[in-house]
């Protein structure tokens, strides 16, 4: 089933003023249910404007946005749209506001006018899923949690609405290495257990290469690449034109290729690079006697 469809979507900020800026330009994009899409692009490429269309935070100006069969232009379905698309913004912990973690997480489900039992069930489940056991965290103030815990509590507030589609904008920005690892593992788990369709915006190409099934790259409001990580990062020239970096494994593979160790451009993760290099090493070890024969032949030919 189709989760999201954007048809010829364009958006201009500050129309008819000297500051007019076209943030999206004729974007066509279809995302199927179950996909994990990495959305990449330089700052100002239109990523934020695009995701804000998905739950009606910005009004559709030109084109069409259809999410789970609902048109984002239809005011009547706006509420339902907000419950279908869960948004985790940058630094979501700044949006914690209630006195206890449980009340903060319950805010979304309450807005959905669910029964009390159902709200409780969802709050418990969301806290368990993000790794903040209910009995330990429910009654604590969100403001006394650590940085990583705060972020997970904020994410719990979004997933308590059990959205079919989860959109995360730079979910690991500003976290320390442990916090990063935890939140990335959590995103993977949410994709499997809560929200089948995930869109993750990130500047960290290493994370995108590891996590996404599909990458969509934006430049100046247009889709300039769309495909598997291997396909998108494989197109080095296009990527450079869009002002985007490579994952470190691909960058190292290029440096090695320059030095005569030829590696395919489809290598985007450290594991793939390590395996490819181990294979080359094994081959060279097996060919060593043969290589010596070759040298001898060359010698005779001279």
The SS3 of residue 259 is: coil
CB of 253 to another protein, least distance (A): 10
Site string for another protein, 126-165 (x = CB under 8 A): --------------------xxx-----------------
Give the C-alpha separation, 289 to 302, whole Å. Answer: 21
Site for another protein, residues 206 to 225, rule: CB under 8 A: 206
To another protein, the closest distance from the beta carbon of 77 in angstroms equals 34
Contacting residues for 196 by C-beta, under 8 A, at least 6 apart: 3, 33, 34, 164
Query: Cβ distance 207 to 245 under 8 Å?
Result: no
> Would you count residue 18 as binding another protein (CB under 8 A)?
no
Q: Is 266 in the site for another protein (CB under 8 A)?
A: no
Q: What does the block give as tokens for 244?
A: 């985007």
Q: Considering only residues 18, 260, 289, 299, which one is a binding residue for another protein as defined by CB under 8 A?
A: 260
- Smallest gap from Cβ 281 to another protein, in A, equals 6
Q: Are 105 and 127 in contact (CB under 8 A)?
A: yes
Residue 35 contacts residue 191 (beta carbons within 8 Å): no
Give residues 173-202 in contact with another protein (rule: CB under 8 A).
Answer: 173-181
Ramachandran bin of 114, using left for φ above 0, alpha for ψ from -120 to 50, beta for the remaining angles: beta
The three-state secondary structure class of 194 is coil
* Residue 58 or 184 with smaller CB distance to another protein: 184
Footprint of another protein (CB under 8 A): 42-44, 146-148, 173-181, 203-206, 243, 245, 248-249, 251-252, 255-256, 259-261, 270-271, 273-275, 277-278, 280-281, 284
């Amino acid at each position: 089933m189709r989760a999201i469809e954007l048809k010829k979507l364009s958006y201009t900020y500050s129309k008819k003023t000297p500051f007019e800026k076209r943030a999206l330009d004729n974007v066509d994009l279809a995302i199927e249910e179950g996909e994990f899409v990495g959305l990449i692009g330089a700052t100002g490429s239109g990523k934020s404007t695009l995701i804000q269309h998905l739950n009606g935070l910005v009004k559709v100006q030109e084109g069409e946005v259809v999410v789970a069969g609902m048109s984002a232009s239809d005011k009547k379905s706006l509420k339902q749209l907000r419950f279908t698309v869960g948004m985790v913004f940058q630094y979501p912990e700044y949006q914690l506001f209630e006195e206890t973690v449980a009340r903060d997480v319950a805010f979304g489900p309450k807005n959905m006018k669910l029964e009390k039992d159902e709200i409780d069930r969802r709050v418990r489940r969301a806290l368990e899923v993000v790794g903040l056991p209910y009995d330990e965290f429910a009654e604590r103030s969100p403001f006394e949690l650590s940085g990583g815990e705060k972020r997970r509590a904020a994410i719990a507030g979004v997933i308590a609405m059990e959205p079919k589609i989860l959109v995360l904008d730079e979910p690991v920005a500003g976290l320390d290495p442990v916090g990063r690892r935890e939140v990335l593992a959590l995103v993977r788990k949410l994709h499997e257990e809560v929200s089948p369709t995930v869109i993750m915006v990130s500047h960290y190409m290493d994370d995108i290469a590891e996590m996404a099934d599909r990458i969509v790259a934006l430049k100046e409001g247009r889709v300039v690449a769309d495909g598997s990580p291997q396909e998108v990062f494989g197109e080095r020239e296009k990527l450079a034109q869009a002002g985007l970096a490579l994952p470190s494994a691909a960058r190292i593979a290029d440096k090695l290729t320059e030095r005569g160790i030829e590696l395919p451009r489809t290598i985007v993760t450290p594991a793939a690079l390590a395996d490819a290099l181990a294979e080359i090493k094994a081959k060279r070890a097996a060919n060593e006697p043969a290589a010596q024969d070759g040298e001898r032949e060359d010698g005779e030919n001279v």
